[in-house]
Amino acid sequence: MHTEPTFAIVSAACLGAIATFLIAAAPDADVQMHPSHPLAKAAEADPNEMMQKWMAVNASRPAHEWLGHFVGEWDIEMSMWMDPGAPPTQSKGHASVSWKFPGKFIQEDFSSDFMGTPYKGFGMTGFDNNRNQFVSMWCDSMGTGMMQTTGSVDPEMKTMCLVGSMDEPMTGEMGKAVMYVVTIHSPDHHSAEMKEIIYGEPFTVMRIDYKRSTPAADSHVNRDN
């Protein structure tokens, strides 16, 4: 059963209830809510209009459909360059990508090794209708933080560029800007490159090639889930 409209109604109702409560409490508080505050306006808004706005921002768009390309099982080959002029360190592994909240996010479970040490990673990617951009997060077994990136895809829907920041414990750098470039080469092959972008010309420090290990399944968005 498709439950998004019901969720939208409940969410709109909750927002209105919260706004009503805060406004009612304001006269007895030291600080009153300003009339221009969004919650004050929400309390006076048409619930149907609020529901329509919520449904519009909650709807799947072509950008979400595009994410379906990455769903599946993938054999991976990872290359890492500690020095752009030196040969890369290479390893192999596997990635499993599936829908999380179909039509909203994809999630990736990644396993490989890093310089002989078992490595596991987890990521989620979606398209934020509010901000009109792709959003992504990543965490792994070799760190305690989460990396967040945002970006867009080119008009041909072949290359997605995400920019964010990371902390580098080996050099002591905090919030270092990095760029991820995801390129679709074919239905069964795509790559992800992490690039340094603050020291002159961008250079690739990591490249992961994903090659589909099972026949491509129907990865369309099932909006009934």
The parts of the chain modelled with pLDDT lower than 70 are 1-33, 39-43, 215-225
Say what the pLDDT of residue 169 is: 80
Say what the pLDDT of residue 191 is: 98
Task: Write out the two tokens for 104.
Answer: 């909203």
The residues spanned by each domain of the chain are 4-59, 64-212
DSSP state string for 76-120:
EEEEE-SSTTSPPEEEEEEEEEEEETTTTEEEEEEEEEETTEEEE
78: which residues sit within 8 A by CB, 6+ positions away?
90, 91, 92, 93, 112, 206, 207, 208, 209
CATH homologous superfamily of 64-212 equals Calycin beta-barrel core domain (2.40.128.20)
- What's the DSSP call for residue 56? H
Task: Write out the two tokens for 49.
Answer: 């209009």
